[in-house]
């Protein structure tokens, strides 16, 4: 699974470089909108963990929802586990605030 994550990271970096070239050299409008959408998605992904946790608890932790959430947020959990302690504690406090 980590190999797949490394491949995804490489492909993502390649896509960002390609998109930057399209914005700078050709000044294409769709590339600018794509870059903005990508930035919003990258920021929204970790911030959505709190509201999703709250919804899961309000639904009384159904098995299908819990499995889906654990799959979707697996990369974020792995990053937070390896991050410095202050980062882990801050993220845990953020999620607990929602719950």
Residues 6-17: pLDDT tens digits?
A: 898 899 999 999
Distance of CA 36 to the CA centre of its chain: 15
Residues 18, 80: Cα–Cα separation, whole Å: 28
Rg for the chain, CA atoms, rounded = 17
- Confidence band of 1 (pLDDT split at 50, 70, 90): low
3-state secondary structure of 84: coil
pLDDT, position 57: 85
Q: What is the pLDDT of residues 47-97, one digit of tens each?
A: 998 898 888 888 887 888 888 888 888 888 888 888 888 988 988 899 899
């Amino acid at each position: 699974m980590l190999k797949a994550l490394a491949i995804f990271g490489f492909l993502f970096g390649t896509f960002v470089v390609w998109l930057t070239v399209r914005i700078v050299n050709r000044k294409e409008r769709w590339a600018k909108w794509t870059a903005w959408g990508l930035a919003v998605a990258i920021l929204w992904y970790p911030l959505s963990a709190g509201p999703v946790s709250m919804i899961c608890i309000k639904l009384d932790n159904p098995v299908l929802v819990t499995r889906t959430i654990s799959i979707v947020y697996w990369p974020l959990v792995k990053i937070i586990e390896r991050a410095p302690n202050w980062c882990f504690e801050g993220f845990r406090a953020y999620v607990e605030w929602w719950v």
